[in-house]
Chains A and B, each alone.
Chain A
Amino acid sequence: MGDLIQLILSGVALGMIYALLAFGYSITFSTSRTINFAQGEFLMLGALTGLTIDVRLHAGYLAAALGAAATGVLLGIVLERVAIRPALRTGSAVSWILATVALGIVARNGAERIWGTDDSLFPAPLGSEPLQLGAIRVLPQELLVIGAAALIMIVVEAFRRWSLWGKAVTAVAADNEAAALAGINVPAVITASFVISSAIAAVSGVLVAPLTLAGPTMGILLGTKAYAVAIVGGLQSGVGVIVGGLLIGLSEQLTARYISTGYKDTPGFVLLILILMIKPAGIFGKRSIKKV
């Protein structure tokens, strides 16, 4: 029984990381109808920057997280300028998808050149000894991931709902032409959405790395599963990404335990295809009416 709860906690921690990345997709999708196909690579860059700050510079875990966030902000600005804005101007979906994919492989190859191709251990700030809570043993980092991820999503969601900037984001999401007429600087809002989304991805890297390992290829699977999470939950739904993340995080742990560790990455993708067949707008998504 304690074993199963342990398994569930690991699944929840992993699911919260997927949810964080997917939350980032939903932020940019709402303002610009685009998502960053290099999100997983941004997570990886955040983790490796954090590793350098924490281990090489001995600056500690908090500094690593802040450094990762700053890296994410920079990456977000570069991404929006280089890959998104030119594509939005031409209105071509092919070009933004390909441009973000291109940035992703540049980031991965660049990271391999800077940090090497090997995976490194990322020291857990609260130690790697499992805590004994009654019959359950749990890694402190898993609790940290769950708490920090929830906090980040709550803060960003509160900001979106109750601040003036957040209302501008909502307005742009609803109708960017009308928002522009109302005096909202739409390009600035879109840039801001990419900055927030990328910073969240980079911080997720520092959160997840002590549970996995930090290395240039760590982002591929995480980023891809987060697409699955975003679509399963509904690309425009805040609750959806959490439910989707937990669903996929848990199903992976259960698959690894009861079926085969080799197939542990598949349930998310199978769920993705199933949702597209049954309810393409996602579990919590609504279909919008397009004006002609």
Chain B
Amino acid sequence: MPESVDRGPLPSLPPGIGGPWRRYAVPLLAAACFFVPLASSNAYYVHSVMSKVCIYTIVIAGIDLVVGYAGDVSVGHAGLFAAGAYTAAILMWKLHLPFPLAALAGIAMGALFGLLLGVPALRLTGPYLAVATIAFGLIVQTFINEAVGLTNGSQGIREIPALRYGPVNFEGNNFYYLVYPLMVLTLVAVHRLATSYWGRAVEALKENAVAAACCGISRYRFKLGAFILSAAFAGLAGALFVHVDKYIGPPTFSLQLSILFLIAVIFGGTRSILGNIIGTFLVVVLPDVFNAVAEYQLLIFGVLLLLTLYFIPHGIAGLLRALAWRLSDRFGGSRRAASRPRPGIELPADVGDGGGGTLPAADPVARRTVAAPAAAGEAGALLATRDLTVAFGGLVAVNKLNLRIDAGRVHALIGPNGSGKTTTVNLLSGIYRPTAGRIQFAGREIERAAPNEVSRLGIARTFQNVALFGDMTVLENVLVGLHHTYRGGLLHVFLATRHARREEARARARAQSLLDFVGIGTLAAERARSLPYGKQRLLEIARALAQDPALILLDEPAAGLTSGEIAEVDALIGTLRAHGIAILLIEHHMELVMGVSDDVTVLDFGKQIASGKPAVIQQDERVISAYLGTTVAQGAAAPPPAEIGQGPAGA
């Protein structure tokens, strides 16, 4: 999984500086910048440089959505920018459309190309988007050079009408009064999006695509959404760009421009408004400053990009934030310093009281309705598989499994290593497609459902090798699990409506109560990565519970835990059952399994060799020889070995 191990997350601003900065300084500064043309009558500076900075910032903020938040690379934004510019210019020139309509068409064209590129290129992980966007950029340049009838070819388009509407005049320096507010709107939109549930979903996908999908997030939809939005911003910027020189021609929209955009995003600092603006200044202003070394421009930019990637991965904005932290530590006193997230924090000893409380009630609005088990096909079972089989090449990992889990019961799935337990969980959660057989959950056939659909239907899971979103906070991890409770669309997010704010507040309260429930409520603000192992497992359970599941698949929840922590998990499972949640428990810790389970199924080499009550299973000859061995079989009451994963048959 692409997780940065030794770099750590982008630090947020320290609370002592961040609060007032966000609340007063940023809006004041933004308002003050609107009046830049009053301070300088230099037409070149205001019209050409400042307006260009505003327009490019719109593109770059959009690219940041793709590169910084979603973790994909587009090397073709110059093509999308060109699509917006040429669409607007041609409509104004040939059809004499007014600019606002032409600009809307430019945005639509950008978004359309974003869709056409994103749909095929984002289906696989890998360098596909980068490759497809490079190719797209070259096609666009070929097209605008060759389709002379439409684009005037290499001559470019000069017939751009003036932006005058009666007394309102956006010509000359006044152009800034049009582009600056649009830039501010774009930055606010990107910021709101990024800090909403929508941005969290995209980041979760970047950190761990499988875990995010199992939290009900459609990888395709959100990665594609980020790319299309980004393309729409590029289209808007392109339409505005037409008016900078009242001329557009093919050489502007080169591969080089796409690369410059990327350099701006990385050098300024991803995931930061300030970074986007700083980066834009770099690519717009610096070539003018270094005019004397113009022929070395790409060399300088290339080296700058490499140095940024290695030495300041969070860019200039990251450096400034680090500086803010240092100042805050020096002058802000110990109170602020204490609230700084530190890796490897010491835990208070009494933090864990897992399983003691009651499960916080789901939001009545959000609570899904799982069809009553009575409606289920297989005689009231919540989940039933029929001859479930999956083969990888010649290896049959799960062979004609008939598993039946009843509502509100704990069903253990045990067996030696390699017997197909985790594969079964992957089948049930939609990660693998079965080769044959059916899976029925709450009366529906789900063997063809994708992981995000399975999660939505009410099956949540944890992972054998903990799969958290390491760079997000503990609370944010649970909020990703609560993704399904958000009903407000993008418009609510952009406008920060009351509905959107209420929804967010409600989800945060619920996430906190879920953390309290599993006993790690005091750690809500920590990075998930910095939690000790046992707490990470509890966090995974809290994230699973956030999905309001009717069934939770726990894949070795006690592996690697201390005996005290295992007791917590034991109690937690009991509480969940008391709340009517069914559990499929995969575990090697036999004391836990035999103590907490209502039913046990035993697998060996992908085949079900026994199924029944724990007491019966413990006496089963085949189970003893395949898995349990004789020590445990002689008496589960006596202190058994903690782990018998390497059962006799496992060897």
Contacts and interface: CB of A to CB of B under 8 A. Distances in A.
Interface string A260-283: 101101101110110011001100
Contact of A228 (B117, B135, B297): B135
Contact of B309 (A89, A93, A99, A235): A99
B71 interface: yes
Interface stretch (A53-61, A106-114, A142-150, A172-180): A106-114
Contacts of A268: 135
B135 A227 contact: yes
B432 A92 contact: no
B302 A105 contact: yes
Interface stretch (B3-11, B191-199, B609-617): B3-11
B145 interface: yes
A230 to B, nearest CB: 8
B646 to A, nearest CB: 18
Given A94-B67, A280-B123, A289-B392, A269 B302 contact: no
Given A33-B126, A35-B127, A221-B138, A105 B298 contact: yes
A93 B6 contact: no
Contacts of B363: none
A200 interface: no
Interface string B550-570: 000000000000000000000
A98 B262 contact: yes
Interface in B1-35: 1-7
Interface in A185-243: 220-221, 224, 227-228, 231, 235
Contacts of B142: 262-263, 265-266
A91 B1 contact: yes
Contacts of A98: 73, 262, 266, 305, 309
A112 B295 contact: yes
B299 A273 contact: no
Contacts of B303: 102, 106
B4 A91 contact: yes
A108 B123 CA distance: 32
B210 interface: yes
A151 interface: no
Interface in A62-112: 82-83, 86-87, 89-95, 97-99, 101-106, 108-110, 112
B117 A224 contact: no
A292 interface: yes
B419 interface: no
A37 interface: yes
Interface in A1-48: 33-35, 37
A272 B135 contact: yes
B426 interface: yes
A280 B263 CA distance: 29
B132 interface: yes
Contacts of A260: 146
B163 interface: no
Contacts of B7: 90
B191 to A, nearest CB: 20
B165 interface: no
Interface string B278-304: 000000000000000001111101110
Contact of A93 (B127, B134, B135): B127
A273 B119 CA distance: 10
Interface in A94-138: 94-95, 97-99, 101-106, 108-110, 112-113
Contacts of B139: 265-266, 269-270
B256 interface: yes
A93 B73 contact: yes
A231 B262 contact: no
A109 B301 CA distance: 10
Interface in B382-397: 392
A110 B422 contact: no
B508 to A, nearest CB: 29
B302 A103 contact: yes
Interface string B107-118: 000000000110
A153 B158 CA distance: 50
A110 B138 CA distance: 22
Contact of A273 (B132, B146, B297, B298): B132
B616 to A, nearest CB: 32
B127 A97 contact: yes
B298 A108 contact: yes
Contacts of B126: 33, 93, 235
Contacts of A99: 305-306, 309
A269 B136 contact: yes
Contacts of A276: 120-121, 123, 128, 132
A262 B298 CA distance: 27
B131 interface: yes
A231 B131 contact: yes
Contacts of A270: 139
A265 B301 contact: no
Contact of B301 (A35, A82, A105): A105
A89 B255 CA distance: 28
Contacts of A292: 210, 422, 426, 431, 463, 467
B555 to A, nearest CB: 9
A89 to B, nearest CB: 7
B1 A102 contact: no
B463 A227 contact: no
A117 to B, nearest CB: 9
Nearest to B68: A94
A229 B96 CA distance: 42
Contacts of A94: 67, 71-73
B392 A224 contact: no
A280 B302 contact: no
Of the candidates A37, A94, A110, A227, the one having the most CB atoms from chain B within 10 angstroms of its own CB is A94
Contacts of B131: 227-228, 231, 272
B421 to A, nearest CB: 13
Nearest to A34: B127
B71 A106 contact: no
7 closest A-B pairs by beta carbon, nearest first, are A276-B120, A106-B302, A109-B298, A269-B135, A109-B299, A262-B146, A102-B305
5 contacts: A90-B5, A94-B72, A102-B303, A272-B132, A292-B431
Interface of A: 33-35, 37, 82-83, 86-87, 89-95, 97-99, 101-106, 108-110, 112-113, 220-221, 224, 227-228, 231, 235, 260, 262-263, 265-266, 268-270, 272-273, 276-277, 280-281, 289-290, 292
Given A99-B306, A221-B138, A266-B142, 6 more contacts: A97-B127, A101-B262, A102-B303, A231-B128, A269-B135, A280-B120
Interface of B: 1-7, 67, 71-73, 75, 116-117, 119-121, 123-128, 130-132, 134-136, 138-139, 142, 145-146, 210, 255-256, 259, 262-263, 266, 295-299, 301-303, 305-306, 309-310, 313, 392, 422, 426, 431-432, 463, 467
